[in-house]
C-alpha cells in the first residue's frame, strides 16, 4: 500500500490537494481538498443587491463573468424583473464568447501538457509535422518553415531551464503521440495564446473589459444604442467625430464583432476541435479511465426566448446511474449542501442553499501524512447533493444531457463519438470530458452569429431597449424577498441564492460546478465526482502519477469557484 499526496495540484484555478491510497498500482481511495478559504458570500451581506454582481463575479477571473451573470439573474428573479430581448442576446454573446475562450484555454494550457512530450516535439521533423497538420485540420499556418520556427522556439524554452507548462517532467509518460504530433499540438498551444487576445477583444466590445465585464446591470445591459438610431451607419455622434474604437452597437461595431466571431469559429473548426479529436483517437484505448459517478447534472444555459421557462441552447436535465436514455427534470428545491467534511460550523445534514450559512471553523492543517483518511474536515469546499445524490457537472454532463435530448446538438455529439469509436457513456471518462468541451465549444461558437443577427434585426426595427430599470426604486421593494438563479459556468452547474431584507442582502450562497465536482465526502461518507473518478486509476509509478493528473485536469477544476 502506498500513500500518495499531490499538493498543490498545478494548472488548476486555485489551491488543490489530492490524496490517494494506492494498492497494487491502482488507486483504491481518494480525497480531494480545496485548501483555501474565500469568504465572498460573507462580504456580500449588508450590500445593496444591485451591486452584488460586481463583487460576486470576483469569485473567479478565469471563469470570466459567469458569477456576475448568475448574480444579476438571482436579483432579477427576486424583484420580478424581466429583461429586454436585446439584453438577453448580448448576455448570450458575452457569456458564449467567454465559454469558448475558457474551453480552448483549458485544453492548451491545462490539459495538453499531460499528453505532449515537449522533448519529442523538439526532435520532430518539421516536414512530417506540416503533413500531419494538413491531414487533421485546416490550419493555414502549416508550412514546413512555420513548424521549423516553432521547433526552434520550443527548443529555446527547454534550453532556458524555464519551460513553464512545457516542462518535460510528465508529459511524455504514457504519451501515444508521435514527435510530429507533439510539435503540431505544441505549435497550436502557442497559437492559442494569440487567439485568446483576439477573443478578449470580442468580450470587451460588449462587456467593457475582460476579465470581469462591466456592462452587466440588474435589469439588462448598460449599453448605449448607436448615436441617431440604427439609420446612422457609422454610429458617430453628429458633433463628435469617431476617433477611437467604434461603438459596439453601431453598424461598424457590429461588423467588427462579426469578424471576431468568424475568427473564433475558424480556430475552433480548424485547430481546436481537430486537435482534441486527434488526441482522443490516439488514446482511444484509455477511454475507460476516469469513469466516475454516472450521475450527471446540467442546469442548462443560453436562453433562446423571453418566456418564463425559455428554451435553452444547452438543455437542463439530470441523468442517473449511467443511463443516457431517460432525462429527469431538475428542480431548484432538490439542491442542498452538506458540510460534514468541510471546514465550517454547520451540521452534517443537507441544507438547502436558501438556509445555508458560511461560518468557517478551521481545525488546523491536515496531518503531515500522504492521505487525509480519517480526517473529519479536510476541505473548504462543501458537498452539494441533488435529492441527496452526488452528481458530476460540467461539459460532459451538459453534452450527455444534450445527447439524450436529441435534436441538432444531439446529432453532432452522436456523430463525433461514433467517428471516435466511443460509446455515449464514454463522455463520463477522462478522454470523454476533454472531447465534450470541444464539442460544446463548437456548438456555442456556431450560435454566436445567430445571436448577433437577432440583435441587428431588432436594431433595424427600432428596438433599442437594453435595460429595464422599472424596479430600481428600493422604496417599491417588498420588505423581504428571496431570489435564485440556475445556469452554467465552464466548470458546470452554477447556482446563486440570496435573501433581500430591508433593501439589503441578508443572506447569499453560491454553488459552482467545481463545488459539485470537487465535493468532499458528505454526511453519509459518499465521495464527490472527482474523488469517485480517481478510484481505479492506474499508478504504476508513484513518482509519475500521470493518469491521476490527466483525470484531475480533464475536469478543469476551479477551487476558487468551488469555495466562496
154-207 pLDDT, tens digit per residue, is 999 888 888 777 775 554 556 778 999 999 999 999 999 999 988 888 888 899
Choice between 250 and 398, residue whose per-residue pLDDT is larger: 398
In the predicted structure, residue 229 carries a pLDDT above the cut 70: no
Please compute the mean of the pLDDT values over residues 458-485 and round it to a whole number.
92
Residue 348 is predicted with a pLDDT of 74
Domain ranges within the chain, ordered by starting residue: 2-562
Most confident of 100-104, 204-208, 361-365: 100-104
Of the listed ranges 33-47, 227-241, 365-379, the least confidently predicted one is: 227-241
CB 488 within 8 A of CB 462: no
- Grid coordinates of 452: 448577433
Q: Dmax over Cα atoms in the chain, in whole Å?
A: 77
Considering the chain, what percentage of its residues have pLDDT values greater than 90?
76
- Grid coordinates of 272: 481546436
Please compute the mean of the pLDDT values over residues 42-51 and round it to a whole number.
96
Choice between 557 and 166, residue whose per-residue pLDDT is larger: 557
3-state class (DSSP) for residue 478: coil
- Grid coordinates of 521: 465526502
Give the dihedral of Cα atoms 80, 86, 88, 91; nearest 10 deg: -130
Question: What do you get for the CA distance between the two ends of the chain, in Å?
Answer: 35
Please compute the mean of the pLDDT values over residues 257-270 and round it to a whole number.
95
Residue 2 is predicted with a pLDDT of 84
Please compute the mean of the pLDDT values over residues 374-390 and round it to a whole number.
93
Please compute the mean of the pLDDT values over residues 126-138 and round it to a whole number.
92
Mean pLDDT for the chain? 90
Residue 467 is predicted with a pLDDT of 93
Compute the distance between CA of residue 59 and CA of residue 70 in angstroms, rounded to an integer.
12
Residue 157 is predicted with a pLDDT of 86
Residue 119 is predicted with a pLDDT of 82
Compute the distance between CA of residue 124 and CA of residue 182 in angstroms, rounded to an integer.
8
CATH of 2-562, one of 2.130.10.10, 3.20.20.20, 3.40.1390.10, 1.10.645.10: 1.10.645.10
Neighbours of 411 (CB within 10 A): 12
Dihedral class, residue 52 (left if φ above 0, else alpha if ψ from -120 to 50, else beta):
alpha
Residue 227 is predicted with a pLDDT of 44
For 78, 103, 208, 456, the CA distances from 219, given in Å and listed in that order, are: 12, 29, 17, 21
Compute the distance between CA of residue 322 and CA of residue 326 in angstroms, rounded to an integer.
10
Residue with cell 465550517: 344
Q: Can you state the percent helix, strand and coil of the chain, rounding each to 5?
A: 45, 15, 40
With cut-offs at 50, 70 and 90, classify the pLDDT of residue 3: confident
Please compute the mean of the pLDDT values over residues 558-563 and round it to a whole number.
95
In the predicted structure, residue 365 carries a pLDDT above the cut 70: no
Residue 286 is predicted with a pLDDT of 83
383 phi, psi to nearest 5 deg: -115, 90
Residue 237 is predicted with a pLDDT of 39
Residue 239 is predicted with a pLDDT of 36
Residue 364 is predicted with a pLDDT of 67
Choice between 393 and 544, residue whose per-residue pLDDT is larger: 393
Residue 205 is predicted with a pLDDT of 87
Strand order in the sheet with 16-23: 2-6, 16-23, 26-34
Amino acid at each position: 500500500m502506498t500513500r500518495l499526496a499531490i499538493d498543490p495540484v498545478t494548472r488548476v484555478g486555485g489551491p488543490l490537494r489530492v490524496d490517494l491510497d494506492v494498492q497494487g498500482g491502482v488507486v483504491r481511495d481518494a480525497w480531494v481538498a480545496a485548501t483555501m478559504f474565500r469568504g465572498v458570500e460573507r462580504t456580500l451581506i449588508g450590500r445593496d443587491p444591485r451591486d452584488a454582481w460586481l463583487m460576486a463575479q470576483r469569485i473567479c477571473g478565469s471563469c470570466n463573468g459567469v458569477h456576475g451573470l448568475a448574480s444579476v439573474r438571482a436579483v432579477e428573479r427576486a424583484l420580478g424583473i424581466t429583461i429586454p430581448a436585446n439584453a438577453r442576446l448580448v448576455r448570450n454573446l458575452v457569456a458564449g464568447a467567454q465559454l469558448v475562450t475558457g474551453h480552448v484555454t483549458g485544453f492548451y494550457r491545462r490539459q495538453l501538457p499531460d499528453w505532449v512530450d515537449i522533448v519529442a516535439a523538439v526532435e520532430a521533423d518539421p516536414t512530417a509535422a506540416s503533413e500531419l497538420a494538413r491531414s487533421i485540420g485546416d490550419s493555414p499556418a502549416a508550412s514546413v518553415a512555420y513548424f521549423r520556427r516553432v521547433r526552434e522556439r520550443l527548443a529555446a524554452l527547454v534550453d532556458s531551464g524555464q519551460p513553464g507548462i512545457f516542462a518535460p517532467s510528465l508529459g511524455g509518460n504514457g504519451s501515444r503521440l508521435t514527435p510530429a504530433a507533439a510539435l503540431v499540438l505544441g505549435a497550436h498551444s502557442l497559437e492559442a495564446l494569440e487567439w485568446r487576445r483576439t477573443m478578449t477583444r470580442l468580450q470587451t466590445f460588449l462587456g467593457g473589459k475582460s476579465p470581469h465585464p462591466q456592462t452587466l446591470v440588474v435589469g439588462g445591459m448598460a449599453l448605449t444604442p448607436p448615436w441617431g438610431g440604427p439609420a446612422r451607419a457609422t454610429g458617430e455622434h453628429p458633433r463628435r467625430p469617431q476617433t477611437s474604437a467604434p461603438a459596439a452597437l453601431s453598424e461598424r461595431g457590429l461588423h467588427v464583432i462579426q469578424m471576431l466571431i468568424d475568427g473564433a469559429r475558424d480556430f475552433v473548426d480548424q485547430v481546436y476541435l481537430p486537435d482534441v479529436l486527434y488526441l482522443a483517437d490516439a488514446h482511444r484505448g484509455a477511454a475507460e479511465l476516469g469513469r466516475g459517478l454516472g450521475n450527471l447534472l446540467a442546469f442548462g444555459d443560453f436562453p433562446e426566448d423571453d418566456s418564463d421557462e425559455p428554451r435553452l441552447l444547452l438543455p437542463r436535465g439530470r441523468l442517473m446511474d449511467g443511463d443516457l436514455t431517460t432525462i429527469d427534470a431538475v428542480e431548484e428545491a432538490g439542491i442542498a449542501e452538506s458540510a460534514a467534511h468541510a471546514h465550517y460550523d454547520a451540521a452534517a445534514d443537507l441544507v438547502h442553499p436558501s438556509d445555508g450559512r458560511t461560518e468557517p471553523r478551521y481545525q488546523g492543517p491536515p496531518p503531515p501524512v500522504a492521505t487525509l483518511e480519517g480526517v473529519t474536515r479536510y476541505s473548504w469546499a462543501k458537498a452539494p447533493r441533488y435529492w441527496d445524490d452526488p452528481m458530476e457537472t460540467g461539459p460532459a454532463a451538459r453534452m450527455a444531457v444534450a445527447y439524450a435530448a436529441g435534436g441538432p446538438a444531439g446529432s453532432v455529439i452522436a456523430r463525433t463519438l461514433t467517428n471516435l469509436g466511443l460509446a455515449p457513456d464514454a463522455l463520463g471518462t477522462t478522454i470523454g470530458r476533454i472531447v465534450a468541451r470541444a464539442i460544446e465549444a463548437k456548438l456555442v461558437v456556431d450560435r454566436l452569429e445567430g445571436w448577433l443577427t437577432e440583435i441587428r434585426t431588432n436594431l433595424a426595427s427600432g428596438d433599442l431597449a437594453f435595460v429595464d430599470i422599472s424596479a430600481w426604486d428600493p422604496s417599491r421593494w417588498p420588505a423581504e424577498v428571496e431570489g435564485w438563479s440556475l445556469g452554467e459556468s465552464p466548470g458546470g452547474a452554477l447556482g446563486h441564492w440570496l435573501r433581500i431584507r430591508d433593501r439589503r442582502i441578508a443572506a447569499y450562497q453560491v454553488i459552482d460546478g467545481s463545488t459539485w465536482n470537487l465535493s468532499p465526502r458528505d454526511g453519509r461518507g459518499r465521495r464527490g465526482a472527482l474523488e469517485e473518478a480517481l478510484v481505479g486509476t492506474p499508478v504504476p509509478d508513484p513518482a509519475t502519477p500521470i493518469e491521476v493528473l490527466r483525470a484531475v485536469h480533464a475536469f478543469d477544476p476551479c477551487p476558487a469557484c468551488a469555495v466562496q
